[in-house]
Amino acid sequence: MSTVSLPSYVAPMLPRAAPDYTVEPQDDELRLALADRLRQRPTGTFVKASRGGDVRLVLDAQDSAALPVYGAAGKVEGRLELAKTEGVTNVELKIEGRLHLREIAEGGTSSIKMSLGTALLWVRDPNASHSICPSFLNFVLNLPPTFTHEEKTYPLPPTFSVKLSGLPGFIATIEYHLSATINKPHAVPPLVPIVKSSLLGISIGTTTITTPFIYYPRTRPAAPIPVPLIPTTEGFVEAPEWRVCESAVVPKVAGVQEIRTRLYLPASRIFCVKQPIPFHLVLQSSAKSLAAFLPCVPYPTLMNTKQATRLQLMRQSTVDVRSGFTSTTKTDMWRVDCIGEGVFRLIADGTTTILFSGEVKIDSSVKVPGFRAAGLSVKDCVLLTVEPPDPHRSPFNHLRQIIPVRLTTDSADGAGVGAIPGIEVAVPTPPSDQDNWRA
């Protein structure tokens, strides 16, 4: 009887010790995902007292800011503190917004009122002779996501202000406030002329306490910024995470070929205001045409001079001024501002192809993304321009290429950082290529 020999035993290799934890990836590591991290909800309060100090409006879950701040579908909660409750018949709370348009020269105004919520905190029971208002009245109201004007529904816009110069000039503002009214009709002295006071709009015996607040809805891109494209001698290796926008600088003279441009942007075209916008640019033509185009090429050595080729982030604010003003006033007024400037880095300089990469750095003053609310709209675009330094002698025409983009308050990979529980961070839809631009 034969015996089968068993294989020799080999001890398994023990796994290496786990690497030390670091908050940010090391040089040989890549972040695949970042889980939402919710910081503790603010525990501070915002307090507004009436002129006489008899009423205090206390708002919970606030940081140490000059005004209360709420996000999309924000929960407005707090309490009213009444030092004197005798004679109070009812207590009401209101949240309102106002889109206000003021003409600078003539002084005309037009307003759109947004009624966002009311609550009757207490009302005296007429059948109970000893019905006394409590000294503390708690409340919770949720901000609505939309408002309606002239049978059209719009997302609730952020707090905002813009000045539009011209003849006439306008200032457009979006403001929000919370007010509480404490009614004491029996507190009116018998000698007060009630008829006269009512004609003047004075409500004797009523105390109203009001505070403005900041509405700041938060948004984020659906995906983080993609990894950069790989350069080749003919351009960049295209990837689905990047969108190519093609155009051409057309020549004015015979014998010169057009300069074909390929601008690469992240495909979503949705960017956080706190992060630069990456891009790649390819300039391609014959060797003769590229040589003639050299004065327009954004070489880094020329950055101290006025650039012929620029990539900018532009913001257009438009106001419909028809409502509330004379028919001679223009229907629309708008202004276009540069809110970001591109910085080019030379990647490859060939005979027929020149490659650049770079970033558009967004101005730190930009806090609010684009929106549309009734007669006011704000939208953004990336603008590629080529303006030859000497247009009369240059063999090329100018180029203006507009690519609509959308901005957000938060980044995609840091979506939960600093978030408050219950505050929604929405993902906007990509911008439309059909947007009407005046840039």
Residue the block writes with tokens 């600078």: 104
pTM of the model: 0.82
Check if 44-187+201-215 and 231-322+332-408 are the same fold: yes
Q: Where are the domains positioned within the chain? A: 44-187+201-215, 231-322+332-408
DSSP 243-310: EEEEEEE-BSSTT---EEEEEEEETT-EEETTSPEEEEEEEE--HHHHHHHGGGS--GGGTTS--SEE
Q: What is the pLDDT of residue 320?
A: 78
Q: How far apart are CA 295 and CA 323, in angstroms?
A: 49
Mean pLDDT of 336-360: 95
Q: Binning pLDDT at 50, 70 and 90, where does residue 375 land?
A: confident
Q: What is the pLDDT of residue 92?
A: 97
Residue pLDDT, tens place only, 31-76: 444 444 444 667 889 999 998 889 999 999 998 789 999 999 899 9
Percent of the chain at pLDDT exceeding 90: 60
Q: How far apart are CA 347 and CA 358, in angstroms?
A: 10
Q: How far apart are CA 75 and CA 73, in angstroms?
A: 7
- The dihedral formed by the CA atoms of 13, 19, 25 and 30, expressed in degrees to the nearest 10: 10
Q: What is the pLDDT of residue 21?
A: 53
Q: What is the pLDDT of residue 301?
A: 57
Q: What is the pLDDT of residue 198?
A: 44
H or E stretch at 347 = strand 332-349
Residue pLDDT, tens place only, 406-436: 999 999 875 433 445 446 688 998 898 877 6
Query: CATH number of the domain at 231-322+332-408, out of 3.40.50.720, 2.60.40.640, 3.20.20.70, 3.30.1490.190?
Result: 2.60.40.640
Q: Binning pLDDT at 50, 70 and 90, where does residue 15 land?
A: very low
Q: What is the mean pLDDT of the chain?
A: 84
Q: Token digits for 67?
A: 């005004």
Q: Report whether pLDDT(328) > 60.
A: no
* CA distances in angstroms from 197 to 6, 60, 181, 189, listed in the order given: 108, 36, 18, 12
Residue pLDDT, tens place only, 141-166: 999 999 998 889 999 999 999 888 76
Q: Report whether pLDDT(326) > 50.
A: no
In CATH terms, is domain 44-187+201-215 a member of 2.60.40.640? yes
Residue the block writes with tokens 């004491």: 184
Mean pLDDT of 14-24: 52
